[in-house]
Amino acid sequence: MFDSLPILPPDSILGLAAACRADPDPDKVDLTLGVYMDESGLCPVFEAVKQAQQSLVGEEQTKVYMPPQGDADYVSGICALVLGTATGKTLGDRVSAVQTPGGCGAVRLGAEVLFAAAPGATVWVSDPTWPVHIPLMGSVGLQFKTYRYYSPELRGLDFEAMLADLDSAAAGDVVLLHGCCHNPSGVDPSLAQWGALAELLAERHLLPMIDFAYQGMGAGLEEDAAGLRAILERVPEMIIAVSSSKNIGLYRERAGAVVFVGGDARAADAMTSQAIAAARRVYSMPPAHGALLAGRVLSSPELRASWQVELAQICERINGLRIDFRDALAATTGRNFDFIGKENGMFSFLGLSVEQAQRLRTEQSVYMLDSSRINVAGLNARNLPRVVDAVASVL
Ligand code: LMR
């Protein structure tokens, strides 16, 4: 049966991370995968997560299945984190959420619910978007169109083009937005632009689906949620895909949630019931460990305070790395890299060609994606000069 089954090429992101792991050069630099690395090059475990884990190991008495909707502390903690007090209060029982295996699981269950409600709807995705969005949502059966977003000429957001493209969407179409720290560009709308976007979505009856994988990694937990909350002031329905991989550092534990905002409580319940049924068709119920840890962190005042301090330090460090990298590149090449300092979160496009990005890998063991997307959070004081020299050498 499988004799002529094609062997697929590796994933465009995970394949390059694997290539870097296999590279014997002791000075190799991995800027591929969106993973936060500390100054020593390690992806750390939050202190609050370590404490939650110790208490969980001591207290856990069963490994019985999780309920289909997931851990109650985790799910309510995520809703509060994403929506904030004021928005959460306004929405009341129009909000409902389901724990998922990571942010991918959340995007997938969101897509399943969209397809159940409107199988003919078109999903508008940014050009470019995270490459996994299309297979993750497309395999449900949804169709896509792209809206212009990142302009290589502007080295930033082409907001007029974005609005013009979305203005041509049909009522009932879905607009996939990155809530903050756009992946792959790092370029986000300003608060005023979020407001204008909210107006357009409301006027044209477009449904926003927000991929919210990086809350707290851009400017802060509240600041990063401002765009999403501005939209919720104008639009009655929303689907939000949340990941706890980055901001709670639970990457391998696969903790995430899909948050549904319905026009009324019944609609929110219907969306949740559809998501639970879709999960049952594929993996039945969510994994426990990561969500139980995050649930403890979010619901304990002490652990939560410790987590927030550490997250704010991470955010500050990434923004500091952006400035150091920008200045070092400008000093070495004589070119303008100001855009790096204006972006948010982990990612930035260096503006190199595919050939230049490939040469950096093969000749210098500096690994970035073919698109020249780098993970800024993979830089540190030791490897930064090496990356700067390598980039300068291919420019
Ligand atoms: C990335 O874009 O590198 C991250 O979101 C990790 C992944 O799964 O691709």
Counting ligand 1 atoms within 8 A of each CB, the residue from 11, 12, 13, 35 with the most, and so the one to mutate, is: 13
Nearest atom in ligand 1 to the alpha carbon of residue 375 is 3
The pTM (predicted TM-score) of the whole model is: 0.97
pLDDT of res. 57:
96
Residues 236, 149 share a domain: yes
What domain range is 380 assigned to?
12-45+304-394
Which CATH number goes with the domain that contains 361? 3.90.1150.10
Q: To test the ligand 1 pocket, which listed residue (16, 30, 33) has its Cβ within 8 A of the most ligand atoms?
A: 33
Same domain, 133 and 180: yes
246 as an active site residue: the answer is yes
Q: Which residue has the CA at smallest separation from atom 5 of ligand 1?
A: 34
239 and 370 part of one domain: no
Q: What is the pLDDT of residues 12-58, one digit of tens each?
A: 999 999 999 999 999 999 999 999 999 999 999 999 999 999 999 99
Could you say which residues of the chain have pLDDT below 70? none
The pLDDT, as a whole number, for residue 73 is 96
Catalytic residue among 28, 30, 71, 130: 130
Residue 271 has a pLDDT of 98
- 1 occurs within a structural domain: no
315 and 264 in a common domain: no
Q: Where are the beta strands (DSSP E) in the chain?
A: 29-30, 95-101, 122-127, 143-148, 150-151, 156-157, 174-178, 207-212, 238-243, 255-261, 347-349, 366-367, 373-375
CA of 44 to the centre of ligand 1 (A): 17
Q: Tell whether 84 and 222 lie within a shared domain.
A: yes
The tally of domains found in the chain comes to: 2
Residue 299's pLDDT is what?
A: 97
In 3-state terms, what secondary structure has residue 239?
A: strand
Domain containing 218 — which CATH number? 3.40.640.10
Residue 241 shares a structural domain with residue 279: yes
Task: Using the 3D structure, point to which of 299, 325, 340 is the last residue of a domain.
Answer: 299
Is 272 inside any structural domain?
A: yes
DSSP 250-272: -GGG-EEEEEEE-SSHHHHHHHH
Closest among 104, 89, 95 to 75, alpha carbons compared: 95
Same domain, 293 and 344: no
Task: Please report how the helices 384-394 and 354-364 are oriented relative to each other, as an axis angle in degrees rounded to 10.
Answer: 130
For residue 160, the surrounding DSSP H or E stretch is: helix 159-167
Q: Which residues line ligand 1 (CB under 6 A)?
A: 13, 33-34, 130, 132, 183
Last-in-domain residue among 299, 314, 339: 299
pLDDT at residue 372, rounded to an integer: 97
- Tell me, yes or no, whether 25 and 69 share the same domain: no
The answer to the question of residue 57 being in a domain is no
Cα 351 to Cα 130: distance, rounded to the nearest angstrom: 17
Q: Which of 275, 299, 323 is the last residue of a domain?
A: 299
pLDDT at 64: 97
Does one domain contain both 24 and 69?
no
- Cis before 135 (ω within 30): no
Q: Which of 211, 224, 307, 324 is catalytic?
A: 211
Based on the fold, state whether residues 278 and 193 are members of the same structural domain.
Answer: yes
Which of 224, 246, 307, 324 is an active site residue?
A: 246
Provide the pLDDT for residue 25.
97
> Catalytic: 307?
no
Which among 344, 356, 361, 389 is positioned nearest to 31, based on CA atoms? 361
152 and 264 share one domain: yes
